[in-house]
Every structure is written in structure tokens, then in C-alpha cells.
């Protein structure tokens, strides 16, 4: 049988066209062209001659002959102990020419104050590896395909956690494991769109990625204003939407908590219309000096879809979250998970269950709360040390979470201030990036990754930029709170 291809041993496809030449010559030519085309790179190891000969069903002499020839040409090197390799200085033509992008190197970020992420350097690596080690050694992941709603052990642990910390009393059967809140919003939006919902209200200002996920799933996104009491529920009632996405315990980014009156009105509105409230409980774990605010889902399990995430408490890269959809949406949500094949890996789910079950998660949260509280104190002290910042008004949204809102003196353009700070190596987000409205100029500052030692530098840079800029004239800006 003429042999003209191989790739089983090396994973590299070698073409050996049957052109009448001897096999060792064809093999020499095939390896040479793989090197010249850049498919074998300098330093790459060639398979041992015995293995390649076995695969080609030929004698080792054929392979050795090809290797000796290529060494003589300078394409390969053969050294005792390191086998046969592509020569380090061989000149190759890359298979794909490199793309040269005309980029101007951005200024390096010295201090990253963009909100959205915790300090991932504080990920409880030792506890996580203990949990994962336990899972792997106990052979717990023997369910080859986990159920779409998530591993039962994790759902049990999450149902306990939600009851204990958020007042949401649910059975494990009501919990669905997700790849985080963005995933959950996309899933729910898709389910609602298929049930002929068309419009979703979202908070303005708000975390736009969630609205984007809902829009991608087919819903029209309608911003609804936020003020010092949270979502403007009166306005929402007049909008005639099918669902609303909100962060009642700690509005992003203003930090407002939805007032008791508005919580009642919101739930009455949802019940009346059978509308769904998607409750983004994204950083409930971090409360400093205000009473913990229970979840809306604790008051209404019929119309509230509760959404939780490990992105702030552990690591956004874990892609792990949980939701408690209203009973009427549970089966369609699970079907959507089944059909899309999406969901966190079974080992990660079991490791999270183990982490929570052993108490290591609570221990980590206690440490993280202390850490972030210290960072908040440090950044506040540093900011208030500058008259230009103090005079602009109180820093807002500081009672909870990992970020705050810093008002700028009237007339400043927050995007311009953010751009100027970025050129000095300080990355912040302008409030205007989170809104369709014209709000007062402000910066949203994430302090989760800011070590107290760096806070004075960050504050001094902000103050210097504000002092150096002559603000353009402003007109008609609104306060958010």
C-alpha cells in the first residue's frame, strides 16, 4: 500500500507523495518542506527514529537516512541526550506571515482603578487547590456529563449559603449553576424572548455588559434612570416593559440601595404584570458600615430571578455563578442550558462546593472584607486630603462593594479627565461611560486592587489633573443621588 501521509506520532502532517522516489528521499523532502514552511519551528523535537519507522511501517534505516541527510544540510541537529531537533538557526518561512499592527503603545497602567474586578492576587489559591485536590482524589467527578442545572452537591451548598447570607430560602432543586451573571442574564433573556417578551428595562447608569448579553439574546434594552433611592420605579411602571434588570442591594455604579418603598412598588408591579425582575446581587458579600440588605428574591420567589456570582468574591476568570429563576422559568432555563451545552466544568463546581462546605469560603470572605475595608479607608483618606476633591462634594457609594463614585468639580468632562489620568498611568472609568443620560461629571474608582501604600499617589495624580485642567463651561447636568 503506498504510504503518503502520516501524523499519528508527531501530530504534524507530513506529505509523502508517491512520486517514484525512494521512501527515505520522500521523507527527507517532507520534513524539509515542513521546516521551510514554518510548520516545524527551530528547536522542535523530531520523533525518535524507532517510533516514526513504526508508524511508516518501514525500517529504522529509512528514517535515520532522512535525519542524517537533514543534519548534513543544517536543517536538523542531532545531539546525544536531546534527540533530533530542528536546528535553532534554521531560516524558515512562517506558515502565516506575521500581522503588523500600526499600534501606538499605550501608556503603561501604573495604578488600575477601573471597577469590576476584585484583587485576584488574593484568590485563596491554597484553599482552592486543597478543595480541588480533594475532589480529584475522591473521584467525585465520575458523572461524565453533569446535569445541565449543575452538580447537585454545589446546588445544595448554594441553597444553604443563600438562606444563611441573603435570606433566600430555596431548595437545591431551585438553584441553577451558571457561568456567572452575564451568562445567567443571556439565558434568561433568551428564554423570555422565546416566550414573546420583547423589552427589558436596565438601570441607567449601569453595568452595560449585562444589557448587551440580553440584547444579544433578543430583547430590546430600555434604560431607566437611577437616583439616590435606586431604580426609578415610578418611571419603570410607565414604560410597559416585560422585565427589568437591577442591582437593588448595591446599584452599580452609584452604590444606591433600593429604598424600602420602591422595593414594595417594584414587587407589586412585577406581580401585577407577571413581569420578571432580574436581581443582580453582584457584590452582596462586601458590606462595611450599613446594615446588610436582604435580597428581593427573599420577598418574592414568583417573579424575581436571583443572580449571584463568584466573580467578585473569588475570581472573574472562574466563570462561576448561580441563579434561582422563578418556578415558571426553571424548565426553559435548564432546556436552554442543555441545548447550548454551556455551563461550568464539573471539577470546578465540585471544588467550589468543597470550598464552601469546609468553611474556607467564609474564611476567605472575612479576610477579603477586612482587606477591602482597609483599602476603602486608605483611598478615602487620600482623596479627602486634596481640597480640589473635597470641595467637589462627598464621595459616594462607599458603604459597600469595591468601588466609589468621585464627583468632579462642575464643568470638567469626565472622559477628558480619565484620558489625562490614563496618560499618567492611572486608569479610572468616567461615569459617563455607564450612562445614556447627561449626568454630573464623576469618576468611578475601583479600589479593590489598590494597595493602601499606593492610594496617596493615585489621589495626588487625580488632584493634579483636576487642578491643571481648565474645565470647559457646562450646562444642565443632573445629579444621580
Ligand X SMILES: Cc1ncc(COP(=O)(O)O)c(C=O)c1O
- Least distance (Å) from ligand X to the CB of residue 316? 5
- Binding-residue total with ligand X (CB under 6 A): 13
Provide DSSP, 230-245. EE-HHHHHHHT-SEEE
Q: Interface residues for ligand X in 268-287 (CB under 6 A)?
A: 280, 282
Alpha-carbon span 354 to 311, nearest angstrom: 18
316 binds ligand X (CB under 6 A): yes
- The residue among 34 and 257 lying less far from ligand X, judged by its C-beta, is 257
Query: Which of helix, strand or coil describes residue 131?
Result: helix
Stretch that binds ligand X, among 167-175, 235-243, 308-316, 363-371 (CB under 6 A): 308-316
- The residue among 140 and 280 lying less far from ligand X, judged by its C-beta, is 280
Q: How far is CA 470 from CA 157, 367, 420, 427, 467, in A?
A: 55, 43, 13, 21, 8
**Grid cell at residue 418:** 480619565
6 binds ligand X (CB under 6 A): no
- The residue among 114 and 153 lying less far from ligand X, judged by its C-beta, is 114
Question: For residue 365, what are the β-bridge partners?
Answer: none
**Of the candidate residues 67, 161, 252, 322, the single one contacting ligand X (CB under 6 A):** 252
- The residue among 84 and 309 lying less far from ligand X, judged by its C-beta, is 309
Alpha-carbon span 455 to 378, nearest angstrom: 6
Q: Distance between terminal CA atoms of the chain?
A: 80
- The residue among 223 and 469 lying less far from ligand X, judged by its C-beta, is 223
Query: What mask, x for binding ligand X by CB under 6 A, covers residues 188 to 227?
Result: -------------------x--------------------
- The residue among 131 and 402 lying less far from ligand X, judged by its C-beta, is 402
- The residue among 206 and 441 lying less far from ligand X, judged by its C-beta, is 206
Apex 118 CA angle, 209 and 257, nearest 5: 65
- Are the C-beta atoms of 443 and 417 separated by less than 8 Å? yes
- Least distance (Å) from ligand X to the CB of residue 197? 21
441 binds ligand X (CB under 6 A): no
182 binds ligand X (CB under 6 A): yes
- Least distance (Å) from ligand X to the CB of residue 180? 3
- Are the C-beta atoms of 243 and 234 separated by less than 8 Å? no
- The residue among 67 and 207 lying less far from ligand X, judged by its C-beta, is 207
- Are the C-beta atoms of 247 and 282 separated by less than 8 Å? yes
254 binds ligand X (CB under 6 A): no
Question: For residue 403, what are the β-bridge partners?
Answer: 446
Residue nearest to ligand X (CB): 180
Alpha-carbon span 257 to 100, nearest angstrom: 48
Alpha-carbon span 46 to 40, nearest angstrom: 9
- Least distance (Å) from ligand X to the CB of residue 210? 6
- The residue among 67 and 161 lying less far from ligand X, judged by its C-beta, is 161
**Of the candidate residues 28, 49, 159, 247, the single one contacting ligand X (CB under 6 A):** 247
- Least distance (Å) from ligand X to the CB of residue 399? 16
321 binds ligand X (CB under 6 A): yes
311 binds ligand X (CB under 6 A): yes
- Are the C-beta atoms of 23 and 62 separated by less than 8 Å? yes
**Grid cell at residue 317:** 476568570
Say which residue the cell 459597600 belongs to.
Answer: 400
Stretch that binds ligand X, among 52-60, 106-114, 179-187, 265-273 (CB under 6 A): 179-187
Is the dihedral angle over the CA atoms 172, 174, 176, 180 positive or is it negative?
negative
319-331 residues labelled b (16+ CB within 10 A) or e (exposed)? bbbbbbbbeebbe
Residues of this chain that interact with ligand X (CB under 6 A) are 116, 180-182, 207, 247, 252, 280, 282, 309, 311, 316, 321
Amino acid at each position: 500500500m503506498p504510504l503518503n501521509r502520516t501524523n499519528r506520532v508527531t501530530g504534524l502532517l507530513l506529505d509523502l507523495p508517491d512520486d517514484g522516489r525512494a521512501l527515505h528521499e520522500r521523507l527527507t523532502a517532507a520534513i524539509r518542506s515542513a521546516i521551510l514552511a514554518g510548520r516545524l519551528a527551530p528547536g522542535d523535537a523530531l520523533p525518535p527514529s524507532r517510533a516514526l519507522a513504526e508508524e511508516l511501517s518501514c525500517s529504522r534505516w529509512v528514517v535515520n537516512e532522512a535525519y542524517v541527510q537533514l543534519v548534513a544540510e543544517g536543517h536538523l541537529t542531532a545531539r546525544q541526550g536531546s534527540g533530533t531537533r530542528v536546528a535553532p538557526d534554521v531560516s524558515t518561512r512562517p506558515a502565516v506571515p506575521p500581522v503588523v499592527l500600526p499600534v501606538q503603545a499605550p501608556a503603561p497602567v501604573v495604578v488600575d482603578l477601573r471597577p469590576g474586578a476584585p484583587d485576584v492576587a488574593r484568590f485563596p489559591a491554597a484553599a482552592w487547590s486543597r478543595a480541588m485536590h480533594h475532589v480529584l482524589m475522591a473521584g467525585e467527578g465520575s458523572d461524565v456529563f453533569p446535569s445541565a442545572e449543575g452538580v447537585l452537591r454545589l446546588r445544595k451548598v448554594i441553597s444553604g449559603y443563600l438562606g444563611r447570607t441573603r435570606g433566600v430560602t430555596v431548595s437545591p432543586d431551585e438553584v441553577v449553576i451558571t457561568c456567572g451573571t452575564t451568562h445567567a442574564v443571556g439565558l434568561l433573556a433568551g428564554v423570555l424572548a422565546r416566550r414573546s417578551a420583547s423589552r427589558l428595562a436596565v438601570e441607567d447608569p449601569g453595568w452595560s455588559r449585562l444589557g448587551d448579553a440580553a440584547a444579544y439574546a433578543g430583547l430590546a434594552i430600555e434604560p431607566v434612570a437611577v437616583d439616590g433611592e435606586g431604580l426609578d420605579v415610578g418611571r419603570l411602571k410607565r414604560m410597559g416593559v416585560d422585565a427589568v434588570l437591577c442591582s437593588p442591594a448595591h446599584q452599580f455604579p452609584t452604590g444606591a440601595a433600593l429604598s424600602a418603598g420602591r422595593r414594595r412598588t417594584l414587587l407589586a408591579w412585577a406581580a401585577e404584570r407577571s413581569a420578571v425582575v432580574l436581581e443582580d446581587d453582584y457584590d452582596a458579600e462586601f458590606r462595611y458600615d450599613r446594615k446588610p440588605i436582604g435580597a428581593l428574591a427573599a420577598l418574592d420567589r414568583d417573579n424575581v430571578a436571583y443572580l449571584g456570582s463568584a466573580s467578585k468574591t473569588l475570581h472573574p476568570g472562574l466563570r462561576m455563578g448561580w441563579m434561582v429563576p422563578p418556578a415558571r422559568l426553571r424548565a426553559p432555563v435548564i432546556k436552554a442550558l442543555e441545548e447550548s451545552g454551556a455551563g461550568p466544568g464539573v471539577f470546578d463546581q465540585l471544588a467550589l462546593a468543597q470550598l464552601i462546605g469546609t468553611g474556607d469560603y467564609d474564611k476567605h470572605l472575612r479576610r477579603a472584607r477586612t482587606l477591602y475595608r482597609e483599602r476603602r479607608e486608605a483611598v478615602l483618606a487620600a482623596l479627602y486630603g486634596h481640597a480640589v476633591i473635597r470641595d467637589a462634594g462627598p464621595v459616594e457609594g462607599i458603604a459597600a462593594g469595591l468601588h466609589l463614585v468621585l464627583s468632579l468639580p462642575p464643568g470638567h468632562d469626565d472622559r477628558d479627565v480619565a484620558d489625562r489620568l490614563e496618560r499618567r498611568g492611572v486608569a479610572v472609568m468616567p461615569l459617563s461611560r455607564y450612562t445614556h443620560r447627561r449626568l454630573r461629571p464623576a469618576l468611578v474608582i475601583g479600589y479593590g486592587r489598590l494597595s493602601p501604600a499606593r492610594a496617596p499617589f493615585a489621589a495626588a495624580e487625580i488632584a493634579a489633573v483636576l487642578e491643571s485642567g481648565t474645565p470647559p463651561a457646562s450646562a444642565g447636568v443632573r445629579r444621580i443621588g
